[in-house]
């Protein structure tokens, strides 16, 4: 059953005449991991700030956990954990002491603070570095400490702005797996913004592609590819020797083949449905030799670049 926990309705933010976020409507369900994707300046951070009640919309509304963020920012902050792209700690305090400090700010009892700080340090893989000063943590360790810091108050929603920025590939993998586990094990809803499509693709249930303040498409990766590649959903890369002069024309005559491009002995055949069998048969029947056949799957990277290449704003 649908249970929206973040609801944006016609959300708009203008800076003078400049529209940073343009009539954004979006529902995110409880327990979802949602990726907000877009290039620099797309409006991701502005949207996040409005969700947190830290920036006032010009028009439209934003509700998080049923709370109007604009009217009740303090209430929203109690339910939502926010990890900015460059998280700040008390550099002279240890990781453990930083967590205790946050726990006390959130009015946890001393005992509860100690228990949760230790548990969360273990959870994010920082038990061994608990007594090291935060100032000496690497970027990846800071992000993991940031996640523990956000979780200490047991939020229903966590919002992460570019969580993987500046982390090495192994660290990124660990961090993303950790985020995914949080969602799965504890039902926490996660919204993360990112430029790193291939990373986000691994853990997001759905993604929204955001360009120039507008949400261009929303869905899981396969729904997005269906939506964006309706004409040429399947591309076959085919190796052919001894091509007859009219083979390309024969291929074009197959229903639902939308284009055939040739590069020496390679053909790139776009179709709106899977025609692998028919295409292979046509090639063999023409007397040509089929040497290789590969069906290309679209990933989020292609979807995303395609939008930007076209510069489409629907």
Ligand X SMILES: Nc1ncnc2c1ncn2[C@@H]1O[C@H](COP(=O)(O)OP(=O)(O)OP(=O)(O)O)[C@@H](O)[C@H]1O
Chain residues binding ligand X by CB under 6 A are: 15, 18, 20, 38, 40-46
Q: Kindly tell me which of 167 and 251 has the beta carbon lying closer to ligand X.
A: 167
- Indicate the DSSP class of residue 192: E
Q: Kindly tell me which of 42 and 51 has the beta carbon lying closer to ligand X.
A: 42
Work out the number of other CB atoms within 10 angstroms of the CB of residue 104. 14
Q: Kindly tell me which of 46 and 201 has the beta carbon lying closer to ligand X.
A: 46
What minimum distance in Å lies between the beta carbon of 9 and ligand X?
Answer: 19
Q: Which 3 state secondary structure label does DSSP give 110? A: helix
Q: Kindly tell me which of 54 and 266 has the beta carbon lying closer to ligand X.
A: 54
Q: Kindly tell me which of 42 and 240 has the beta carbon lying closer to ligand X.
A: 42
What minimum distance in Å lies between the beta carbon of 71 and ligand X?
Answer: 21
Do 206 and 27 contact (CB within 8 A), yes or no?
A: no
Q: Which two tokens stand for residue 185?
A: 């094990």
The alpha carbon of 33 is separated from its chain's Cα centroid by a whole number of angstroms, namely 8
What minimum distance in Å lies between the beta carbon of 54 and ligand X?
Answer: 11
What minimum distance in Å lies between the beta carbon of 165 and ligand X?
Answer: 10
Q: Kindly tell me which of 212 and 250 has the beta carbon lying closer to ligand X.
A: 212
Name residue, tokens 């590969």.
294
The alpha carbon of 75 is separated from its chain's Cα centroid by a whole number of angstroms, namely 26
What minimum distance in Å lies between the beta carbon of 18 and ligand X?
Answer: 6
Q: Which two tokens stand for residue 100?
A: 């205790």
The alpha carbon of 107 is separated from its chain's Cα centroid by a whole number of angstroms, namely 33
CA 201 to each of CA 146, 217, 295: distance values in angstroms, whole numbers, following the listed order: 22, 15, 20
- Cα separation, 102 vs 117, whole angstroms: 10
Quote the strand ranges of 30-146, DSSP E: 33-37, 59-64, 67-68, 80-83
Q: Which 3 state secondary structure label does DSSP give 13? A: strand
Q: Kindly tell me which of 55 and 102 has the beta carbon lying closer to ligand X.
A: 55
What minimum distance in Å lies between the beta carbon of 196 and ligand X?
Answer: 11
Q: Which two tokens stand for residue 205?
A: 């249930």
What minimum distance in Å lies between the beta carbon of 49 and ligand X?
Answer: 8
């Amino acid at each position: 059953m649908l249970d929206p926990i973040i609801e944006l309705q016609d959300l708009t933010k203008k800076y003078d005449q400049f529209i940073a976020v343009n009539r954004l409507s979006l529902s995110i369900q409880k327990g979802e991991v949602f990726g907000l994707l877009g290039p620099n300046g797309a409006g991701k951070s502005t949207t996040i700030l409005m969700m947190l009640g830290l920036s006032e919309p010009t028009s439209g509304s934003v509700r998080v956990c049923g709370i109007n963020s604009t009217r009740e920012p303090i209430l929203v902050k109690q339910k939502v954990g926010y990890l900015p792209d460059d998280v700040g700690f008390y550099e002279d305090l240890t990781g453990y002491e930083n967590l205790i400090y946050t726990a006390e700010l959130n009015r946890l009892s001393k005992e509860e603070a100690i228990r949760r700080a230790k548990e969360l340090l273990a959870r994010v893989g920082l038990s061994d570095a608990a007594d090291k000063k935060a100032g000496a943590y690497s970027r990846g360790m800071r992000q993991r400490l940031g996640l523990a810091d956000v979780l200490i108050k047991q939020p229903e929603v966590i919002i992460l702005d570019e969580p993987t920025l500046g982390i090495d590939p192994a660290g990124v993998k660990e961090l993303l797996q950790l985020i995914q586990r949080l969602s799965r094990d504890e039902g926490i809803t996660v919204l993360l913004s990112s430029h790193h499509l291939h990373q986000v693709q691994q853990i997001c249930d759905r993604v929204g592609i955001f360009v120039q303040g507008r949400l261009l498409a929303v869905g899981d990766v396969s729904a997005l590819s269906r939506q964006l590649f309706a004409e040429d959903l399947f591309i076959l890369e085919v190796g052919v020797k001894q091509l007859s002069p009219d083979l390309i024309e024969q291929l074009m005559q197959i229903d639902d083949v939308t284009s055939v491009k040739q590069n020496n002995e390679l053909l790139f055949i776009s179709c709106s449905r899977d025609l692998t069998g028919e295409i292979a048969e046509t090639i063999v029947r023409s007397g040509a030799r089929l040497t290789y056949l590969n069906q290309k799957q679209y990933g989020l990277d292609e979807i995303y670049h395609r939008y930007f290449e076209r510069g489409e704003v629907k």
